């Protein structure tokens, strides 16, 4: 029983130390992440404003249809950017996991 408790306490201790290291690294990247988030928000705001202007300037249904297609294309570009960012984050996590396994 004593060995089991000792093993659990040791495992919890190691996981807390790894968590503390991750928190420190996250603090280093905070400003970079914040800047990227603000840039993405600004891009989305501009896209919605452009879409609104396009709709307001449309003279008929075909004009509105063209605006909708442009907005759909813009949303797809945003989605592709998100997918690429997600892929990069996953690759970084995999590298970190491999480095931890080597230790």
pTM above 0.75, yes or no: no
The 10s digit of each residue's pLDDT in 20-55 is: 566 666 677 888 889 989 999 999 999 999 999 999
Tell me the DSSP string of 82-102.
HHHHHHHHHHHHHHHHHHHHH
Residue 71, helix vs strand vs coil:
helix
Distance CA 43, CA 7 (A): 51
């Amino acid at each position: 029983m004593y060995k089991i408790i000792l093993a659990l306490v040791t495992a919890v201790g190691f996981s807390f130390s790894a968590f503390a290291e991750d928190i420190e690294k996250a603090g280093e990247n905070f400003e970079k992440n914040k800047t990227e988030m603000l840039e993405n928000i600004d891009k989305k705001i501009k896209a919605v404003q452009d879409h609104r202007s396009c709709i307001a300037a449309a003279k008929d249904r075909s004009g509105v249809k063209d605006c909708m297609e442009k907005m759909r294309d813009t949303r797809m570009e945003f989605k592709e950017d998100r997918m690429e960012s997600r892929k990069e984050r996953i690759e970084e996590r995999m590298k970190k996991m491999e480095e931890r396994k080597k230790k």
